[in-house]
Amino acid sequence: MVGHEVVIESIWESFKTDIPDGIAAYITLFQFTFVGLGALTVEIFAPTPTDASSAGTVADKRPLGFWLSHLPYFGLAVLVFLSTALSNHSVHYVQYPVKVVFKSSKLMPTMLVSTLLGNSKSFGITDYAAAALLCVGTAGFAYGGGKGGKEGVSVMATLFGCGLLLISVLADAFLPNLQQKVMSKDVSPERLMLKTNFIGAIILLAAMAVTGDLFACVDFSMRNPMVNVNLVGCAVTLFVAVYCMTKMVKTAGSVFAVTVATLRKGVTVITSYVVFPKEISASHVISLLLVGSGLVLHEVHNQREKARQRAKEEAEPKERLLESSSPTHDGADRLEAGYRVARSASFPSVGKLAD
Q: For 158-170, how does the pLDDT look when each residue is reduced to its tens digit (9 = 90+)? A: 788 888 988 998 9
Residues comprising the chain, all counted: 355
pLDDT given for residue 153 in this prediction:
66
Q: How far apart are CA 20 and CA 92, in angstroms?
A: 10
**Phi-psi region at 250: left, alpha or beta (left = phi > 0; alpha = psi -120 to 50):** alpha
Q: How far apart are CA 28 and CA 321, in angstroms?
A: 61
65-108 pLDDT per residue, tens: 566 778 888 999 999 899 888 887 887 787 776 777 777 777 77
| Other Cβ atoms closer than 10 A to 285 | 11
Distance set, CA 184 to CA 71, 73, 179, 252, 285 (Å): 16, 14, 9, 12, 41
Burial class of 73 by CB neighbour count within 10 A (0 to 12, 13 to 18, 19+):
buried
What predicted TM-score, i.e. pTM, was given to this entire model?
Answer: 0.66
Q: Give 224 or 54, the one with higher predicted confidence.
A: 224
pLDDT given for residue 112 in this prediction:
83
DSSP letter assigned to residue 62:
S
Contact between residue 217 and residue 22 where contact means Cβ atoms under 8 Å apart: yes
Identify which of 49-58, 130-139, 147-156 has the greatest average pLDDT: 130-139
pLDDT given for residue 139 in this prediction:
67
For 3-95, list the strands marked E by DSSP. none
Q: How far apart are CA 61 and CA 49, in angstroms?
A: 21
Identify which of 167-176, 297-306, 342-351 has the greatest average pLDDT: 167-176
Quote the percentage of the chain above a pLDDT of 90.
6
pLDDT given for residue 181 in this prediction:
86
pLDDT given for residue 167 in this prediction:
92
240-268 pLDDT per residue, tens: 888 888 888 888 777 777 777 766 666 66
Quote the percentage of the chain above a pLDDT of 70.
66
Contact between residue 134 and residue 294 where contact means Cβ atoms under 8 Å apart: yes
315-335 pLDDT per residue, tens: 766 666 666 655 544 555 555
**Phi-psi region at 187: left, alpha or beta (left = phi > 0; alpha = psi -120 to 50):** beta
**Is pLDDT above 50 for 209?**
yes
| Other Cβ atoms closer than 10 A to 170 | 16
Residue 201's pLDDT band, with cuts at 50, 70 and 90, is very high
Average pLDDT of every residue of the chain: 74
Measured in whole angstroms, the distance separating CA 166 from the mean position of its chain's CA atoms is 16
**Is pLDDT above 50 for 306?**
yes
